[in-house]
Structure 1
Amino acid sequence: MSAPEHRIEIEVETRYVEEQSDPAGDRYVFAYTITILNAGTRAAQLLARRWVITDANGRVQEVEGEGVVGQQPVLRPGEAFRYTSGAMLETPLGSMEGVYRLVDEAGVGFEAEIPRFTLAVPGILH
């Protein structure tokens, strides 16, 4: 369990982007909207992210970078930041998981785990 000053809650919503996908060409595009809530007692700045994206064939892509959608938001206790981004898979089913790297107002670095979530074309899962 993380310290009470470092409590980050993450919610994810996903959507299949049919108009950008090409199943015949093994191109499946998904959008995901993430809400990051600072449920801790200290302000924190999101500095970087690391994603592990796995498709149904077991192919893994790892993506690392600064911030999210070109921003490094500062979240005071109780504040949330919401953004939408996307991923492309070669299969109609896959998953994503990862970690956000943050630093609190005292300069202490910490990580928030992004729980695994599923990317699926509607109707692919029963």
Structure 2
Amino acid sequence: MLKQRMEVAAQSEDYEEAARLRDSLKSFEEVEPVLRLRRLLKEAVADERFEDATRYRDELKEIVPDSLLKCSSDATTLGIRVQVRSVYIEGRSQPSKGQYFFAYRIRIFNDSDRPVQLLRRHWIITDANGKTENFWGVGVIGEQPVILPRTGFEYSSACPLCTPNGRMVSCGDVLSLSEE
């Protein structure tokens, strides 16, 4: 989806948006091991580096079952669609110390006919032991984005937990703006 949106932005000569989407895609591919390995495999085959391709294929076969455990959510309320995907980051986690690190990507699409602005959000993060933490904030990642009709906004962040799994629930305040 990011790739398609990047191509549309480039075709409409919105190069700033195309560059932002390109960078988001690259960042997500580096965090998401399946996407990273698929890209590396494709590049290795194209460059005829078949030994590397064999290694990437085998690594991909090993982690694909784990990738099926990744969590995602997709919900629409009043024309605002929010998609969330989380992934366990093994390289930043230390299970022997009770430290588990998860990255997540949020995509917010405005499927309504009016521009909207994300004003604030509230996250409730609960680990497997039932320990709950609440986080309130203005906007997201320091921004209160205005999202035009039929466009979207996305960002990535991360969350440490003391248990190997947990639950995140979020709600946000979105203001419908007039087109004046």
Which residue, 64, 72, 83 being the options, matches 2:155? 83
Letter matched to residue 103 of structure 2? A
List runs of 5+ in structure 1 lacking aligned partners: 107-126
2:93 matched residue in structure 1:
21
Higher helix share: 2
2:175 matched residue in structure 1:
103
Which residue, 71, 76, 98 being the options, matches 2:143? 71
Q: Distance in 1 between matches of 2:137 and 2:110?
A: 21
Q: Show structure 1 runs of 4+ deviating over 4 A.
A: none
Letter matched to residue 171 of structure 2? V
List runs of 5+ in structure 2 lacking aligned partners: 1-75
CA deviation after TM superposition for structure 1 residue 70, in Å: 1.3
TM-score of the pair, normalised by structure 2: 0.55
Larger Rg: 2
Q: Which has the higher contact order (CA 8 A, sep 6+)?
A: 1
Q: Distance in 1 between matches of 2:101 and 2:130?
A: 17
TM-score of the pair, normalised by structure 1: 0.77
CA deviation after TM superposition for structure 1 residue 46, in Å: 0.5
1:47 matched residue in structure 2:
119
Corresponding residue pairs, total: 103
CA deviation after TM superposition for structure 1 residue 100, in Å: 1.2
CA deviation after TM superposition for structure 1 residue 57, in Å: 0.3
Q: Distance in 2 between matches of 1:89 and 1:45?
A: 30
CA deviation after TM superposition for structure 1 residue 103, in Å: 1.2
Do structure 1's residue 8 and structure 2's residue 80 form an aligned pair?
yes
Letter matched to residue 72 of structure 1? Q
2:106 matched residue in structure 1:
34
Deviation by residue 1:70-109 (Cα, 9 ceiling, x = unmatched): 1111001111101101111100010101101111214xxx
Q: Distance in 2 between matches of 1:39 and 1:94?
A: 30
Q: Distance in 1 between matches of 2:162 and 2:94?
A: 10
Determine helix, strand or coil for the equivalent of 2:109.
strand
